[in-house]
Structures are given as structure tokens and as C-alpha cells.
Amino acid sequence: MIFLEVLTIPKDDAIAFTFFTGYMAMLAASIFFFFERSRVDGKWKLSLLVSGLITFIAAVHYYYMRDYYLATGENPTALRYIDWTLTVPLMCVEFYLLTKAAGAKIGLLWKLIFASVWMLVAGYIGEAFNPEGGSTSHSVLWGVLSTIGYIYILYTAWFGEVAKLAEASNSDVVKKGVRTLAWFVLVGWAIYPIGYMCMPGGWLNVAFGLGSQNVDLFYNIADAINKIGFGLVVYNIAITSSENLKTA
């Protein structure tokens, strides 16, 4: 007789709860974005496809991360960074797609992808390969290197090429949408370096004794808000622009 192990959620484990809700929320968002592609103008279909892929990839990883966490009680660091290494560059691709009509070149796309991968690889080295017990020098070195990529994306979205192209788009919908996405990068993405600094050896861990026990809770909530929110902003741009074309 074959017995199947059933993983249950402890009633007082908020982290496990957010793993399950994050998985379902991002899976539902994927289905929504994929189905809504048929309602938007052709030039926006690829943007919505990317939005759906971002949440779908995240949903698959959350499916495995929730089981890993329930089985071990540990942070699924490797799985989380695999997810981010796939989804964060795709989020940067959205900036290129939204400004492509205003003249964005392929070089912008590759610069954003490189900056995001740099940010994540450096962050992973700093978090996953920190000596046992936590080395502050190791954490700070790789944290600073990771932040270089983050600052580049942030600057590009707020003041650099993406911001200038959005202004040149002559579309209030695109301008507002890109600015909203820039706020996601500034505020929403800020939870990730904060979580990094709570790890052993990190500044917040050393200075204030903030541990990594609840980092997954904040990561899970931030992931759902950032990835689904990113997609909804893109969806709003696509559906609003498409409706404006119909009524023009």
C-alpha cells in the first residue's frame, strides 16, 4: 500500500501561509494576464505575455518553495534566487517594451537585463556563500556590488533613458505607467536589500539584532505585490491605450 505524505500548514505559521497564498495569487494572475491578451491591441500583447510569464514562473517556484519550507523550516534561498534571476530581468524587459514605440533601442534592453542579473548574482553570492556564522565584510562587499545594479535600474527608470523615452512617447498613459513602475522599483524592491541586511553578517543583523527568521514572510508579501502589481500596471496601460484607439 502506498501512503502519500500530506503537508499541512501550522495554524501559527504566517510564513507557510504566505507561501501558499503567494503561489495561488500569482497563478491566478498568470491566468488573468494570458486571457486578457485577446482584449488588447496587438502592440501590447507581448507586454501582457511577459507579465503572465513573470507571475507564472514565480507561481511554479512558490509551489516548490512552500514544500521545501514545510519540510525543512529553512529559507529556500537557492530556489528564491533562481526565481528572481528569471523574473526580475523580465520585469526590466517591460520597461523596454513600454518605451519601444518612443524609440527605445535593443541596447537599453540588454543594459537593463545585465544590471538585473548582476544585482541578483552578487546578492546570491553574498547571501548563500557567506561563511558560517555570518561575515560582515563578505556581506557588505557583495551587498555593495549588488546595489550597483539596483541603482542603475532605479536611475534609468526615474531619470535616465527609460524616463526620457516615456516623456517622449506623447502618451499620458505610458508616462503615468512608467512612473508607477519606477515607484515599484524604488519602494517595492527596497524590501529585498532590507531582507539581505537581516541575514547573518548583514548590517541590520549586526547593528540591531534583526534576524532572518521572518525574512521569508516579507519576501513572500513583496514578491506578490511587486510581480502582480507590475503586471497590473502594464495591463492598465495596455487596456487603456487599446480602448482609446477604439474610440479615436
The residue extents of the domains of the chain are 14-247
CB neighbour list of residue 41: distance below 8 Å, 6 or more residues apart = 238, 241, 242, 245
Query: Given this model, what pLDDT does residue 7 score?
Result: 62
pLDDT, position 215: 80
Positive/negative CA dihedral, 120, 20, 194, 12: negative
146: CB partners within 8 A, 6+ apart: 118, 119, 120, 122, 123, 126, 193, 196
Per-residue confidence (pLDDT) for residue 122, from 0 to 100: 96
64 burial level (CB within 10 Å; 0-12, 13-18, 19+)? middle
Q: Is the distance from CB of 191 to CB of 217 less than 8 angstroms?
A: no
b/e per residue 26-38 (b: at least 16 CB within 10 A) = bbebbebbbebbe
What is the topology classification, in CATH, of domain 14-247? Rhopdopsin 7-helix transmembrane proteins (1.20.1070)
Model confidence, pTM: 0.91
The conformation of residue 160, written as its DSSP 8-state character, comes to S
Q: Measured in whole angstroms, how far is the alpha carbon of residue 19 from the centre of its chain?
A: 15
Provide the 3-class DSSP secondary structure of residue 7: coil
Angstrom CA distances, 191 to 87, 88, 209, stand at: 16, 14, 17
* Cα-based distances in Å from 48 to 51, 93, 234: 5, 11, 7
Q: Are 52 and 19 in contact (CB under 8 A)?
A: no
Q: What is the pLDDT of residue 246?
A: 76
* CA within 13 Å, CB half, 101: 15
The predicted structure's pLDDT at residue 212: 59
The predicted pLDDT at position 216 comes to 85
Could you list the pLDDT tens digit for every one of the 248 residues in the chain?
Answer: 454 555 667 777 888 999 999 999 999 999 999 999 999 999 999 999 999 999 999 999 999 999 999 888 888 999 999 999 999 999 999 999 999 988 999 999 999 999 999 999 999 999 888 876 667 888 889 999 999 999 999 999 999 999 999 999 989 999 999 999 999 999 999 888 887 777 766 666 655 555 556 688 888 989 999 999 999 999 999 999 999 877 76
pLDDT at 234: 96
Residue 195: per-residue pLDDT:
79
The answer to whether 52 and 85 are in contact (CB under 8 A) is: no
| Longest Cα–Cα distance in the chain | 67
